[in-house]
Amino acid sequence: MKKQFAVAVALLGAAIATVPCYAQWMSSRADIPFAFQVGNKTMPAGRYLIERVCDSTPNLQMIRRTDSSAVVTALTIGVDANGRKSEPELVFHKYGNSYFLAEIWTGGAQGRQLLKSERERELVKESAGREVAVSLEPALDRGL
């Protein structure tokens, strides 16, 4: 009985601890016209929401198709615009017909850079690739 109570208290504590993470959920929206990869996961073309998983941990970004048919959480690092104009956009690296989400810029002086997957590191050795940008706009609600 004590063990069941302890498990219930732990689950309740975990649920309560996550509430502040979603209190100020900022999200952006993008229409991505091609399939792309985030880490080792391939995401289909479509309309996506890009959201910080938790305000206190900006390193985790959720990339979710608005119909919830595809979702991935990505580990990112902060990068500075270094004086260049930083438009709200997603930056993809393209190698042949393969696209990899590389950066998330929400319009400020700092963006988020995704870590390269093993597959992308292999493709970098084979060809130079190029950057492709997709506009990013604020999402007024989390569903669109």
**Token pair belonging to 46:** 């479509």
Contact indicator for 114, 36 with CB cutoff of 8 Å: no
Q: What is the pLDDT of residue 26?
A: 65
Three-class SS state of 85: coil
Between 57 and 15, residue with greater pLDDT: 57
Mean pLDDT for the chain overall: 82
CA dihedral of 99, 102, 104, 105, whole degrees rounded to 10: -100
Contact indicator for 21, 60 with CB cutoff of 8 Å: no
Instruction: Calculate the alpha carbon distances from 18 to 4, 5, 36, 59 in Å.
Output: 22, 20, 29, 16
Q: What is the pLDDT of residue 143?
A: 47
* pLDDT, average across residues 70-92: 89
Q: What is the pLDDT of residue 141?
A: 55
pLDDT tens per residue, range 11-41: 434 443 444 454 344 689 999 999 999 999 9
pLDDT at 83 over 90: no
Task: Give percent of the chain with pLDDT exceeding 70.
Answer: 78
pLDDT tens per residue, range 61-79: 999 999 999 999 999 999 9
